[in-house]
Structure 1
Amino acid sequence: MLGLQVRLHHIAPGGIRLTRSGWEVTLKLLPPSRIGCPASILPPRLASAGVAAMLPRPTRPSRRGFLKIGSLGLGGLTLPNLLRAESAAGVRSSHKSVILIYLVGGPPHQDMFDLKPDAPKEVAGPWKPVATNVTGVQICEAFPKLARNMDKLAIVRSLVGNQADHDAAQTFHGHHPRKPAPAGGWPQLGSAVAKVQGAVGPAVPPFVSLCYTCTHGPYNEPGPGFVGPAASPFRAMGQTREDMVLRGITVNQLAERKALLAGFDDLRRDIDATGGMKGMDAFTQQAFGLLTSSRMAEALDVSREPLAVRERYGTGDPKLFMDANGAPRVPQSLLMARRLVEAGARVVTLNYSKWDWHGGLNAEGRANNSIFLREKEDFPVFDQCVSALVEDLHARGLDKDCTVVVMGEFGRTPKISAQVGRDHWPAVNCVLLAGGGMRTGQVIGATDKIAGEAVSRPVTFAELFATLYHNLGIDVNQVTLPDLTGRPQYLVEDNAQPVRELL
C-alpha cells in the first residue's frame, strides 16, 4: 500500500487534480475578487495570477482563513534555500531520524564483524581479521574504510531471537513473525513513528521507503499493520516518484503557474496561523505539501550532490537485481537516504543487494555462486557506501540526530557447506549501528569459538527496536497505539528497554 500517491493532471484553466486511491482534491487558481479580498493587499504578480483555494467543501478553508495560511513554500524554495531560511529565522531544523538498511537474505556475520581466525578451517573461511582504529576491535580485512571509522560505529555481535526463514518483517518492526500478533498485524518502525510523531513539515512525509520490490514476497516490507494505510511509507522508488511531475500542461499554462508561485514567495512564511489546515485529512495534507514545495523532489535527486560526494558512495545499477529475486546493489540509495533525513524524513528504509549465499548454483544458474566469491564482489562496495554515509553524517553534524542500523533477518551457519556456502542460522546475528548520539567505538556481546551461540550480553530484537525508538524520542514504556480491536499495544514486547551500553 502506498503511503501517498500524487497524480497531477491538467483539468481546466487554472485547475490541478490530486488523487490517491479514490480520494480527490482540486486546487484551482481564482482571481482575488472571487475569494473576497482586495487585490491591493497581494504582491503584484500574485494579484494578476490569482490565488489558490482548496476545493471541494467542507475541507476548504474560509476565504479569510486561507490568507492566514501565508506562504506555503511555493516557487523558488529549493532544499538549500529552505534550510538557509530556517537557519536565518532561528528555527531548529534538526529532528531525530533513523536510516534502516536491510541486507536482503541474511549476511554472514562470521565473515563480516565476528571473525573466528582460530576456528577450524571448515568454519573460519579465507578472510583474515584486521585491526580498526579502536584498540582491540577487529573486523573483516575486506572492510578497510569501516575499520578506519570504527570509532563512529557500534557492533552488536549477540543479536538473538532471530527467525529461521526469509521474512523481512522482524527486521522492520522487531517482532518475531511466529509469535501471535495483534489484530491488524504489527506496524513497521516507520509506520509507528509516522503515527506517533507525524511529519516534521508539510513537504516531506515522515516515513519514506527506498526499498525496491523483490519478486520473493517475504523479502518485502511488512506494511503499516494496525495503524492503517495513512501511516504507510512514501515509496520513492516506484510509481509514486514518477507521479511527482506535472502532466498535460502547456508552456503558457506552466508560465501562469510560475507567476503564481513567484507571487506566493512574497507572502508571509508563518504557515497556517489559525491551524485551519488541521482539518484536512492526512493524504490531502501530504499531497498539498508535496505539490507546493520542491523539497521532496530535490531530496530524491542525488545529481544535485557534488560529483566528489557521489563518487565517495559509489554507483550501482537499480535494474540489476541480485540473484533475480533480491534487491539491487545501489550505493547511492544511502546517499538519497541521507538527503531525505536532512529534508525532514523521520524514518528511511532501504534494501541492499542479496546475501542469501548457500553456494552451488544461484537462481540464474551461475556455477560460481560460492559464498566467498560473492563476498569478494559485495564486501568492497558495502564497505565504501556505508563508510561514506557514516562519514557524511559526522561531517554534516547529523551524527547526534540520525541513527543508522544495518542488519539482515538472521546469521549464517558456522560450518561451510559442501556447496561452499553458509545456510540459515537463527541462533545469533550481528548488527552494525552508527550515529543517533550513541556510544560508539565499541562491541556489545560475544559469541562462542565458532560464532554459533551468544555467550555474553545477548541482545533481543525488542531491545534493539526500543533503542531505535528511544533515539527517535519515543518512550516505549509510555507510548501505546490501539490495534484494530481498540486494545492498546506497546511498540515493543516483553517490557524491553533500550540497550543501555549504547546510551
Structure 2
Amino acid sequence: MLTFWGAAQRYCDNVSRRNFLQLGAFGAGLTLADVLRARAAQNPAARAGTSQKAAIMIYLPGGPSHLDMYDLKPDAPAEFRGEFKPIKTNVSGVSICEHMPLQARMWDKLAVVRSLVSVDEHSDSLVSTGFSEQVNRVAAHPAFGSVVAKLRADGGNDVPPFVSLRGGGSPGTEPGYLGPAHRPFTPSGAGVENLRLAGGVTGDRLGDRKDLLGKFDTARREIDASGTMKGMDAYAGRAFDMIASGVVRKALDLKHEDPKTRDRYKGVEQFLTARRLVEAGVGCVTLSYGGWDTHTGNFKELKRQLPQLDRGVANLIQDLHDRGMQDDVVTVVWGEFGRTPKINSSDAGRDHWSPVMSALVAGGGLKMGQAVGSTSAKGEYPKERPYKVPHLLATLYRAMGIDPAYTFPNGAGRPMYILDDRNTVEELL
C-alpha cells in the first residue's frame, strides 16, 4: 500500500481538506485486479442503460462570486456592484465579466444558470453528490464520477472510468456506499509512474507474470471452500492491459500534445489533461482550479484568477468543438455557493452566500447560448427559475444517459436513489 499526499486546501473554517491517493490499488488494500473484478459485481441492466458520453467537472473551491463573474449588477449601488464591468457576449442579451472576454466571444457554445440555491457550508461534496457534506457524513452518497464508474464497470476499455485531477480521498470524489472499487484513479504524485512497467520488465515478462498469477489463483481457487476466489478472469487481464497499453499514461503526458497547444494551456494544464483523458475514453474527469474563498481582497484575487480560468475554459470548450466532441462531453464549472452581494467595507471582500450562485455549463447535447434564471436587482436571491444543486446534477446525469432515479443498495442493502430531488433544469434540455 502506497499513499501519495496531494495539496492541502484550507478554507475559512480552518478545516484542511488534504487529498490523498492510496495505491495498492486505489485504496482499501485492493489490488487493481480486485478493483476491476468488484466493479463488475453489479446489475447488468445498469450497464445496458448507459451511454458512452463523458463529463468534465471543474470545481472552484471556496465559493466563487456570482456577482463578479456571470451575474453582474451594473445598476446596483456601488457597495453591491463592485469594481468589474459587464461586457456583451456574442449572444444578444447576455453579459458577463470583463475579465472573461474569451468566453464572451463564444457564448453560443456556453450557458449559465444564474439562479441556483445552495447550502450554507463549505461542502466539497455538494456539487458532486447533490447532498451536503453534513448529510454525507451519515449517508455517504456517491460522487457523480463514482456513479459513472459503477455503471461502466464492464465497459471493456483499458482506461479507468473515473479520473480525479483533484486528488483522491476528498469529499467531492468519494464513492460512498458504492465502495472503494469506484474511487477515482488519481495521477497525483507518483501515480503516473505506477502506470509504467517496472524497470527491466518487458511486455513478454509482464505476460509471464499474468500467467503466473493465473496459476496461483487456480491453486487458491481449488483450496477455497467458500468459492470466493474465482481465479484469473477477464478483470485481472484488464488490470494488466491498463498498464501494458499505456493509454492512460500517454493521455497524462502532455509532451504528446502539439507545442502550440501546450502554450495555449500554459498555467492551466489541468484543462488540457482533462480533454486528453476524455479523448482516451475516461467517463468522468474532475479537476479543481484556484481558491475562491474571498473574504478579503475579492477583486484583487479575481483580477488574477479570472483571466486564467477564462483561458482554461475557452480553450477546453473550443478544442472539444474542433474535435466534434461537443455533444459527447458535458462540462460544468461551479463552486459550493456564491458570495455576499454587499461588499465588506473594510476588507473589500465578499462572504459566503448560499441563497444563490451561478454555474457554467457546456456541451453534452444541452441547449447552449443562454442565461437560465435571474436574480434580484442586487443579486441577493433568485427572481426567476430558482433551481437547486441536485436539479443541475440531474440534468448532467440526463446528458450522460443516466437516469437519476436509478437506485443502488447502500451498505445496509437499502436501495438508494442517485438523487432524491430529481427535477431538471428544463431550459437546458
The alignment partner of 2:195 has SS state of coil
Cα distance, 1:212 vs structure 2: 4.2
When structure 1 is superposed on structure 2, of 424-433 and 370-379 the one drifting more is 370-379
Asked if 1:438 corresponds to 2:389, the answer is: no
- 8 Å contact kept, 1:299–1:336: yes
Aligned to 2:158: 203
Aligned to 2:95: 138
Give the whole-Å Cα distance in 2 for the aligned partners of 1:163 and 1:438: 26
Cα distance, 1:444 vs structure 2: 0.4
- Identify if the C-alpha distance between structure 1 residues 337 and 281 changes in structure 2 by more than 3 Å, giving closer, same or farther: farther
The alignment partner of 1:357 has SS state of coil
When structure 1 is superposed on structure 2, of 284-293 and 372-381 the one drifting more is 284-293
Give the whole-Å Cα distance in 1 for the aligned partners of 2:202 and 2:404: 48
- Identify if the C-alpha distance between structure 1 residues 444 and 182 changes in structure 2 by more than 3 Å, giving closer, same or farther: same
Asked if 1:173 corresponds to 2:173, the answer is: no
Q: Show CA shifts across 1:334-363 (max 9, x none).
A: 11111111111111001111111111xxxx
The alignment partner of 1:237 has SS state of coil
Give the whole-Å Cα distance in 2 for the aligned partners of 1:151 and 1:409: 26
Aligned to 2:36: none
1:355 aligned to which of 289, 292, 295:
292
Give the whole-Å Cα distance in 2 for the aligned partners of 1:193 and 1:281: 23
Asked if 1:288 corresponds to 2:240, the answer is: yes
2:78 aligned to which of 90, 112, 121:
121
Cα distance, 1:6 vs structure 2: 6.3
- 8 Å contact kept, 2:150–2:182: yes
- 8 Å contact kept, 2:165–2:270: yes
The AA in structure 2 aligned to 1:245 is R
Cα distance, 1:472 vs structure 2: 1.2
Give the whole-Å Cα distance in 2 for the aligned partners of 1:25 and 1:171: 28
Aligned to 1:68: none
Give the whole-Å Cα distance in 2 for the aligned partners of 1:419 and 1:111: 16
1:313 aligned to which of 265, 279, 289:
265
Give the whole-Å Cα distance in 2 for the aligned partners of 1:476 and 1:282: 30
- Identify if the C-alpha distance between structure 1 residues 6 and 428 changes in structure 2 by more than 3 Å, giving closer, same or farther: same
- Spell out the pairing of 1:369-448 with structure 2 (5 A cutoff): 370-417=297-344, 418-448=346-376
The AA in structure 2 aligned to 1:453 is Y
The alignment partner of 1:290 has SS state of helix
- 8 Å contact kept, 1:105–1:356: yes
Q: Show CA shifts across 1:207-256 (max 9, x none).
A: 0000047xxx9x7535110000001100112343232223342xxx6486
Identity percentage of aligned residues: 44
Give the whole-Å Cα distance in 1 for the aligned partners of 2:21 and 2:55: 18
- Identify if the C-alpha distance between structure 1 residues 285 and 355 changes in structure 2 by more than 3 Å, giving closer, same or farther: farther
- Spell out the pairing of 1:65-464 with structure 2 (5 A cutoff): 95-160=52-117, 162-179=118-135, 185-198=140-153, 200-212=155-167, 220-249=171-200, 254=202, 284=236, 286-315=238-267, 331-359=268-296, 370-417=297-344, 418-464=346-392
- 8 Å contact kept, 1:312–1:388: yes
The AA in structure 1 aligned to 2:182 is A
Cα distance, 1:107 vs structure 2: 0.5
Report how many residues are paired. 375
- Identify if the C-alpha distance between structure 1 residues 124 and 23 changes in structure 2 by more than 3 Å, giving closer, same or farther: closer
In angstroms, what is the RMSD of aligned CA positions?
Answer: 2.9
Cα distance, 1:163 vs structure 2: 2.0
The alignment partner of 2:133 has SS state of coil
Give the whole-Å Cα distance in 2 for the aligned partners of 1:488 and 1:255: 44
Aligned to 1:472: 400
The AA in structure 2 aligned to 1:352 is Y
Cα distance, 1:497 vs structure 2: 2.5
The AA in structure 1 aligned to 2:423 is Q
- 8 Å contact kept, 2:339–2:352: yes
The AA in structure 2 aligned to 1:205 is P
Give the whole-Å Cα distance in 2 for the aligned partners of 1:200 and 1:341: 14
- 8 Å contact kept, 2:73–2:81: yes
- 8 Å contact kept, 1:313–1:384: yes
Q: Show CA shifts across 1:267-289 (max 9, x none).
A: xxxxxxxxxxx976897355223
- 8 Å contact kept, 2:32–2:239: no
- Identify if the C-alpha distance between structure 1 residues 314 and 132 changes in structure 2 by more than 3 Å, giving closer, same or farther: same
Structure with max Cα Rg: 1
- 8 Å contact kept, 1:173–1:187: yes
Give the whole-Å Cα distance in 2 for the aligned partners of 1:310 and 1:209: 20
- 8 Å contact kept, 1:156–1:444: yes
**Residue segments in structure 2 that go unaligned for 5+ positions in a row:** 4-19, 34-50, 209-229
Asked if 1:502 corresponds to 2:419, the answer is: no
- Identify if the C-alpha distance between structure 1 residues 131 and 279 changes in structure 2 by more than 3 Å, giving closer, same or farther: farther
Give the whole-Å Cα distance in 2 for the aligned partners of 1:100 and 1:281: 33
The AA in structure 1 aligned to 2:428 is L
Aligned to 1:325: none
Give the whole-Å Cα distance in 2 for the aligned partners of 1:147 and 1:461: 24
TM-score by length of 2: 0.81
The AA in structure 2 aligned to 1:240 is G
- 8 Å contact kept, 2:62–2:292: yes
The AA in structure 1 aligned to 2:247 is R
The alignment partner of 1:159 has SS state of strand
Cα distance, 1:493 vs structure 2: 1.1
Give the whole-Å Cα distance in 2 for the aligned partners of 1:492 and 1:289: 34
The alignment partner of 1:434 has SS state of strand
- 8 Å contact kept, 2:394–2:404: yes
Aligned to 2:224: none
